[in-house]
Each structure stands twice: as structure tokens, then as C-alpha cells.
Structure 1
Amino acid sequence: MFPLLQSPSSITVLGAGLMGRLLAVALAREGHRIDLYDAAGPGAEGSAARVAAAMLAPLAESAVTEPGVVRMGQHALGRWPELLAPLAAPVYFQQNGTLILWHRQDATDAARLRGTLERNQAALPDLPAMQVLDSAGVAALEPAVAHRFAQGLYLPGEGQLDNRQLLAALEATLAELPVTLYWHSARGPEDFRPGQSGQPDWVIDCRGLGARGQWPALRGVRGEVVRLHAPEVTLQRPTRIVHPRYPIYIAPKEDHLFVIGATEIESDDLSPASARSTLELLSAAYAVHSGFAEARIIEIATQCRPTLPDNLPAVRRTAERVLEVNGLYRHGFMIAPAMLDVVLQVLHTGQSPLASRFDLALQLHPAQQAAPASDSCTVP
């Protein structure tokens, strides 16, 4: 029988990345006592969430993921404003849609992408309808790039937020709640005996790749992003560029800060970004807007995203009162609100209707962990 969360309870959360912070805030607001442990510091230096564009783009991402993840993204667009409103500091949130552009030589790849998005749109009719743009349509949405692009696709309703602002706002909110923060304190589930005297009632493991000792199927997928300050550039929404090797995105934040990325490498390597990928990112940005030529490089960063064999997230119970949440891959900000709501449902009721809606791998019987790692992501 699944033990239900009683109020108030003592809960230990492992990992203070995006999921760990969201869960700690939500559970503390319910009146629970929270201990939050992280191997790094309050700046989330070891978290994949720190090196991200934080785009909320379910239809755009439908080209590379499953319908359940897309539905999580739809859920997030409504939930993020609710989650951001009570935080201790403001967080930039924008919902101006996504613009997809391409150069003439990439028209074949663009046509293929359009066909994929149209099929996905038909299968997920709740998504806002994609709009096909001619040169006048591109000019109306983004006047600054109109002279360079004669065609485009517009995905209304999609959005983004500022990941660094969010992590800082969550940290400030945790300081106001009944949460004890243990920075530079790596811990694992084996360090606790939940339910026993003097121990937490529950342990929730959100350590990402830090949990590979308990979840061997996890792997790292490397991402590289460039953060630029470009006062001469005005873009009003995340813009994706069809590229012969991989789609490149430009996400405009506040005060002319831009996050540019694309690289997705099957590697746990955390060495600095390669010259090739950096040149490709900067060249693609310049091809969109010449104002990027005078931009100042604020940061070139790399990080590895925690990924399971099917590239989908999962929640599992490995012991009586231990939950593990992992595998958010490249979709962390787009699916984190859905994952949060699923975990809260599981803790309170022992089940989650949302998990079924999202086709989410949910394993609540510890005995299942005896199965081979390759089976650990299947939905019962």
C-alpha cells in the first residue's frame, strides 16, 4: 500500500535544481518542514536549469518529442503564471509565441518541419493553430528581420521565462519558508531512513545526473549556450532558425540579453564549448540580425541534461518513502510544472490522473526496480 503524505511532515529534498526548488517551495507552503540538500551552492552552479533558454514551446518541441511531453507543455503555459506570482522576486515571463525562420537554401528542411508540425497540430487540436507567414507576415511580427527572411512559421501562445531569475526567486522564496538549506552538502537516499525515529518522513530525490548511482539508466546530453548583450537587437519573441545540422534558437530576455543555443551532444563532457559550435551559434545569430556583430559575449556555458533511454521523464518509488524524479532532458522548464503537479498528486493520493494524461512513466511499487534498467521507463 502506498503511504500517503500526512500534514505536517518532515521532507528531505535532494537536489536544488529546478525540480528540487519547485517541490521544496510547494511542500513548504503546505506546512511541511523541508530540508533541502545540494552538492553545489545557491547559484545552482551544478544544475542543468542554469544553462538553458527556458522556452515554453509545446508545438515547436513536438517535432522532437512525444505527445505526452507536448501536453505537459500545454499544462505549463497555464501553470507558470500561477507559480511565479507569489514568489519573493519578479521573474520575466513572456507569451508572445515562437517564430521559425529559414534561409532560402534550407527551404527543403523547412518544408519537412512544416509538415511535421501540421501533422502534430492535427493530432493535438488543443494547440493554437500554426500560422504560415509570407514576407509581410514576417515583417509584421519582427520588423527587424523582415529584410532577411521572406517566409516563416508563427506558433502563437508559446512562451519563455528567465531561468536565472527564476532560480534566484525560488531561492529567495525558500529563505522565507520553513526550509533548511544545506548548500555544498551532497547527499543520497542511502543517507536517510525515512519513517524511522529522528529521520524525515519522506525523501524526494531530484538530483538529475547526480542520481546515476541509484538510476544507472540516466545519461548526460550535453548542451552549449551563448549569452549575449546586444543593445542594437530588437527581437520580440523566441526565434528558431532551421539549420542543416540542428535547429538554432535565439531567446530574447530583458534588457537586450539573448540566449542562443542549439547543440545537443550525446556526451557527459563538461569541458568548455567547442570553437565549432560557438562559431555556428554566433554566425547563425548574425545571419538573423546584423546587430549581433556588436554584441558583447556575457557567457559561453555548457551543461549536461539528465536523460533516460527513451528521452522521457519518469517518477518512481524505490523504497517505502522515497520518490525519485528525473529525466527531464531538454524540456525541463516546459514540463516542470506538470512534473510538480504529478508528484504532489502522488504524495497526497497515491496516484495521479495527470500522469495518465501526460503518458508519464510512474512506478510506485519498489519491487519493480528489480527489472532491467532498459525497462525502467515503461508506463504500466
Structure 2
Amino acid sequence: MTDALKRLSDEGVAIWLDDLSRKRITSGALGELLDEQHVVGVTTNPTIFQKAISAGDGYEQQVSDLAARRVSVDEALRMITTADVRDAADVLRPVFDATDSKDGRVSIEVDPRLAHNTKATVAEARQLAWLVDRPNTFIKIPATKAGLSAITETIGLGISVNVTLIFSLERYRAVMDAYMAGLEKAKSLGLDLSQIHSVASFFVSRVDTEIDKRLSAIGTEQAKKLKSKAAVANARLAYQEYEKVVASDRWQALERAGANQQRPLWASTGVKDPSLPDTLYVTELVAPNTVNTMPEATLEATADHGEIAGDRVRGSYEDAQAVLDAIAELGISYDDVVQVLEDEGVSKFEDSWNDLLKSTEAELQRLAPKEA
């Protein structure tokens, strides 16, 4: 079952699980994925926590204690989520140590309601890093315009960051610039750059979902031929941008000072269109020094029948650009697509967070001690 995952790992792709729950930690299921499925990291987001906590498994005692203390719903939610991340980080600590801090990491996201507030995002990142208090934590910051400055400030404090919700090549370039600016700031403060890590989460499947919808509306034969090609092409061109940056004089100077490369991370790799191969966004995006964070269904599909044919990214840039050019020629605006996706991404995480606040508040009220 794990041969394909081992081959993927051997190609330089770090396999991360895009899911976390308390039951997964306490049952030993997370540890089994590390031992048997080559998983070396975990990512979370508001939607993942909303599903886990709403299911209720393993949370009642902590919620009862929080209700007895009469904490606010916001504080309760942070205590619950950071507890899960802290415990997961402890499970992954051996991987962190074995990979010299490159992997074995767990990501936790800042409150999505702060996505357009730089100062509040930095404050939240600092608070989360303090609350979790584990060296193998990534703080997730969305790549909104306000998020770019927050990335620089947070990296400059020596806090490792997972930059999320990247859809466009232009924004990805800005993210890499923000990371380097943060490292330069950290260096000026005398911080050890070798202890700062980052990944840049470039979203994949949602690009096909949005562009394919527009291609279907056009309905021509040319439009049909281009369906389900944009996401992989976009991600491959992102890797080309990564290669340009790591070859630059600016990056080389930082690397000589001990800095770690900001690895491209392929996110949203679960296939949304059932007509597509369920391992499409894994097998077609194999490249060295990348991360692929997968929902469990995608992980299992890759283990079962994924065909890993080596590096599928380098050398594909001309064809990838041709795909995006052909889509543009049909009148589909790339800039509009990626802006819609960013806005929807932030909105979906806000909605999940608000749903989570409501369900947590209901549980706090249900378990609150009765007045004497």
C-alpha cells in the first residue's frame, strides 16, 4: 500500500495530511500515518477544526472545564485548537528531529477574520506561537495584500510561517519577496536564520473548479479541450518562479547566512471533479523540495493506485504557459479568476470560523455549571 507514497517521498515531495482531530491524535491513528504512510506533517484550517470539533469526539471534558471557568467563546476556541496542535506537534516531534527541523510540523491558522488587518495578524501569530509553544509549529497567514506585510513582520520575529491561500503567480512572487524581507529583518536583529522555516501554500484544485466553470459556459470545442488543465499549469509555473528566486543573488546571500528555502506547498489537492483521476494533483506535481498536503481520501488513493513517474514539473513550463495563454485567448481573465478565488477562500474560512464559534458557544452554554 505504501510503495507509491515511498516513491513520492523519494522524489523529494514531503507528504503532509490536510486534517486533524483530537480523536485522530488520541487513537494513535496519526502516529500510524507517520509510521506506515510516509506522512511527515499536518495542516489545519478553520474548516478542518469546524468539522472536528462539531463531531465532538474527545472535546467534552475540556469544554466542560472551560465552561466552568466561564471563559469567552473566542478564548475557549483558541484553547481547544491550540491543544490539538500542541499534542499533534508532540506526535510529530521525532520527524522534526530526524529531518533537522524541515518536516514534522503542524500548521495552525490565524483567525481568518483578521485576514485584511496586518497589525492584528502579527499579534495573533505571536500569540499562537506562544500558546502552542512547540518549535515544530507553522503559523498560517493568508496571502492577502495585508497578509504580505504580516508575513514579513512575523518572519522577522523568528516565527516560522505557512503562507496560505495563494492562487496567482504575481501574489506568489510577492510572498517569496515578503519571506526574504522577513529573513533580512531577522538577520538585522541577530536572529539565527537556520531556525526559521516557511512554506508557501499554492492552491490547486480550486483553480480548475473556477476556470472549468467559465470554460463550460463558453462551450466551444477549444474550451472543452482546455478543461481541467489550468490548475496543474498554474502550479507548474509557480515552481518556475520558485526556481528563479532561489537562483537569485538576493536569495543566495540569505542562504549563505543560514536561511532555509521557502518550499512550495501544493494545497487543495483533493480532486473536486469526479470525472478526473483522484490522484491528479499529486502525480502531476511531483518536483523536488515540495510539499503536498492531502486530504485523507487523496492520501489513500495515492497509496492504492498512484502512479509516480518522477519529476513532472521541471521542463513543463512552456506547455504550462501555453495552457494559460489559450485560456486567456478565450476571454477568461486570469486576474479576475484568482481574485475571486482569494475572496472566496477568505470568506469560506470566515464562515467556518463563525460556525465553529456558534457551535462552541452552544456547547459552553450546555455544559455551564448550574447556578446554586
Q: TM-score, normalised on structure 2?
A: 0.31
Q: Which has the higher helix share?
A: 2
More strand by percentage: 1
